[in-house]
Amino acid sequence: MLDLTGDGRADIAGFGEAGVHTAPAAGGGGFAAPRLALAAFGHAAGWRVDRHPRLFADLTGDGRPDIVGFGEDGVTVARNNGDGTFAAARLVVPDLGYTAGGWRVERNPRFAVDLTGDGRADLAGFGDDGVVTALGNGDGTFTAPRLVLADLATEAGGWLVERHPRFVIDLTGDGRADIVAFGDEGVVVAQGNGDGTFAPPKLVLAAFGFDAGGWRTTRHERVLADVTGDGRPDIVGFGEDGVWVALNDGAGGFGPARRVLDDFAIGAGGWLLDRHPRLLADVTGDGRADIVGFGETGVRIARSNGDGTFATPAPALTGFGQRAGDWRVDRHPRFAVDLTGDGRADLIGFGEDGVWTAPNAGDGTFRTVRVRRDAWDLPVWDPTLLFYARAVRAMQSRPISDPTSWAYQAAVHGRNGSTPSGADWNLCQHGSWHFLPWHRGYLAWFERIVRAEVVRQGGPADWALPYWDYSTPARAALPPAFRERTLPDGTPNPLFVSQRAAGINAGGRLPASATGSANAMRATAFTPGFGGGRSGPEHFFNAYGELEFTPHNDVHSLIGGLMGDPNQAALDPIFWLHHANVDRLWTVWLRQGGGRANPPDAAWRNQSWAFRDASGNRVTTTTAALLDTDRDLGYVYQDGIGLAPAAVEAMTAAALVSDAAVPEPELVGASDRPVELAGRAAAVDVPVDARAAAALESAAAPRAFLNLEDIVAETNPELVYEVFVRPLGDARAVPHYVGNVSFFGIGHDGPRGDAPHGFRRTFDITDWAASRGTGVTVSFRPLTLASPEARTADAAVPPVRVGRVSIFYAP
């Protein structure tokens, strides 16, 4: 973790299989997508952790870190380009390497630090015979290494890596690095002379040593950090019985060692090196290093008092711990660094399934960010799912008049019959640009109601709603916990619902074209392509976005039963996991970049919504307050945090939607009859006026759209139809798949105002339609579950009538 670009925010850099990978900070604690920044220094190029140290240091004085690698043949460097990438790697010193010089990780620590005070890093290494330095030339090269001190080394003084930590750091504040070494008898200092050499070592403190205090590298961490704010590093040691400090005296030595805190130690709190990382970082922005400890149950902070003592340690975050997320020292590095540029350290951890951050709350604590996990990655009765089931049962027992009851929360989405006075029912937003933000808020407050019940029953305080990622065939069946008829204790399972389509509860898999989001992800504009068309608040408005069509509507229809009816869908516990996945896909879409951004319009951002909190009280929010799930709502998905506010707003500013009139599309062809869909394959011809199409094509490069118009049905048939096109009259042509059509909500009350008339579905067929002659044949193929119990083509299916199929060209 280090600032690669000079913007004051820490970026991610890692040495992977293929080379150096970077992920620049995006602000707000988020990161741009990782990329291969340099095909060098990686495992595939022969670099090994146990042979070849790789460091970052500013070699040129431009304020940006370059790569310094101590490889097989010597020192290789790659200069920083300033954009998160690096120039080509080159060998600059044929020494200090594994073969070139015989340097070993287990014997010879090496550093890249400024020894002369010119702002450019030099090299310093503890060889077998003493200290060797090579001065930087300012261009990424170095002078020839030379032995400058016959001490502090394996053969010169008996210094061992496993007994004697050594640091090269500016001890006096003159900008030139000195040597601080923890020997057998205590702390030894060799002050830098400013020319790459050092004064003779001297014992400055009879403490913190192997014999002077019994300090062991396997038990007792010792670090150098400025705890007083004077710009000079002090010694902080996590000893056997607590935290010990020796303040820098400004003259190359230290004051007496004193125990300042009875905590963070083996014998004072049970802190172990192999379980509990302890760091020094400024979490308050006062210029003084505080203690950040990753304990069993989370993160604890002890703020510096500025005099070498610390305040009483306090819990700062539930997470990043051995028993709070299963974090392991040997697998999951954790850091405290400034990710946002505000001068205060944030937390970042490289976990089992991705990168996790906890932004600083500004007061030395960290915001709790709950993780929504994929149900398929959890054991059948993982506590997340088991406590969800128990909470559902408790909520189902409450009367519908209780806003925290299962029935009431489902009715917020939709319910048949009249709405009692004062009840917030039938409020779901469908078929418009409000679909995604309204459902995000709906889930967020529902999640809080469930969490309150989970905690009441003794469950985890950081419980978060899981999601169901059905995008791969192996996970396209309902997660097992929703198919089990009983809980582990033998009682009925409230997650199991019998009112689902045949085959769903038997493990039938949803077909791939119904669960994919490729068409939605290809859209670059939020409205109307990805998230829906503009409207005021409307229960149902026929301007659907691609994500709402597929996978949202398709999954609702294929699960069927309660899920097939908007007025009952939220009664099925799988509803909430389905919508959590749709919410996740919104974040995935934004993270693709390429101009993708949320609408900047005040009419969208300032739209207010009402929900109920965990106490049943009405709360109001706006779409703008729902856009950053991490900052505003306190959750992220297990595949990482979405774009941070700064990055989202920057993209939004670059993608401002013009209010200029958009030319109306022109009809170039239409079917001469309706087509009925009744559970079997069907087709209809759509002739095109070739002269009209040619005229439009000669004037511009139009987009071509296939419209299914005036779609009517008595009820949702709970089927999804794949739609194909082929040239009219060419029966041998391979049909081209353009997307799906399903009918979730078709039986619902129709729209009001200026909504498009009738249910409709539109496909962009531009790439296929070019030069397609006189028309197309449009065919429909019904989808069924991958299960023997799925409905067959011969089963009775409520018919759907498509009034017209047409083709439009739009400039």
Strands of the sheet with 355-358, listed across from one edge = 334-337, 346-350, 355-358
Three-state secondary-structure class, residue 185: coil
> pLDDT tens digits, residue range 519-533?
999 999 999 889 999
Predicted confidence (pLDDT) per residue in 206-243, tens digit: 999 999 999 999 999 999 999 999 999 999 999 999 99
- pLDDT of 404 reads 98
Specify whether the CB–CB gap between 334 and 320 falls below 8 A.
Answer: yes
Task: Tell me what pLDDT residue 40 has.
Answer: 94
pLDDT tens digits for 26-70? 766 667 778 899 999 999 999 999 999 999 999 999 999 999 999
Tell how strand 635-637 and strand 370-372 pair up: parallel
pLDDT band at 581 (very low <50, low <70, confident <90, very high): very high
What percent of the chain stands above pLDDT 70?
92
| Residue 94: burial class (beta carbons within 10 Å; 0-12, 13-18, 19+) | middle
- The alpha carbon of residue 199 and the mean position of all alpha carbons in its chain are separated, in whole angstroms, by 49
- Examine the pLDDT at 773 and tell me if it is beyond 70: no
Dump pLDDT digits (tens) for 654-676.
Answer: 333 333 344 677 888 899 999 99
- Check: CB of residue 647 under 8 Å from CB of residue 28: yes
What was the pLDDT predicted at 444? 97
User: pLDDT-based confidence at 699, cuts 50/70/90?
Assistant: low
Q: Could you tell me the CA-to-CA distances from 663 to 545, 660, 809 in Å, in that order?
A: 20, 9, 11
Question: Residue 21 above 60 pLDDT?
Answer: yes
Q: What is the pLDDT of residue 729?
A: 85
Of 351, 368, 585, 600, which Cα lies nearest the Cα of 461?
Answer: 368
Would you say residue 19 has pLDDT above 70?
yes
Residue 1, pLDDT score: 86
pLDDT at 786: 73
Task: Please state the rounded mean pLDDT for residues 188-194.
Answer: 97
Count of all residues that appear for the chain in the document: 811
pLDDT band at 772 (very low <50, low <70, confident <90, very high): low
Average pLDDT of span 529-554: 90
Please say whether the beta carbons of 576 and 446 come within 8 A: yes
pLDDT confidence band for 754 (50 / 70 / 90): very low
Provide the phi-psi class of 39: left if phi over 0, else alpha when psi is between -120 and 50, else beta. beta
244 versus 731: the higher-pLDDT residue is 244
Specify the DSSP element, H or E, that contains 396.
Answer: helix 383-396
Q: pLDDT at position 721, please?
A: 95
What CA–CA distance (Å, rounded) separates 349 from 8? 19
Take residue 672 and report the two structure tokens written for it: 């001469």
Helix, strand or coil, per DSSP, at residue 392: helix
pLDDT: which is higher, 357 or 121: 121
Asked if residue 513 lies in contact with residue 417, where contact means CB atoms within 8 angstroms, the answer is no
Confidence (pLDDT) at 692? 67
pLDDT at 648: 41
pLDDT tier at 297 (50, 70, 90 boundaries)? Answer: confident
Question: Cα Rg for the chain, rounded, in angstroms?
Answer: 32
| CB proximity list for 489: less than 8 A, separation 6 or greater | none
- What does the pLDDT average to over 451-455? 95
pLDDT at site 362: 77
- Average pLDDT over the chain reads 89
Q: Where is 686: in which H helix or E strand?
A: strand 682-687
Question: CA–CA separation, 321 vs 219, rounded Å?
Answer: 19
pLDDT by residue (tens digit) across 314-373?
Answer: 988 878 888 887 899 999 999 999 888 888 998 988 888 677 788 888 777 787 668 899
What is the identity of the amino acid at 555? V
Check residue 683 and give its pLDDT.
95
- Residue 252, pLDDT above cutoff 90: yes
CB atoms within 10 A of CB 660: 6
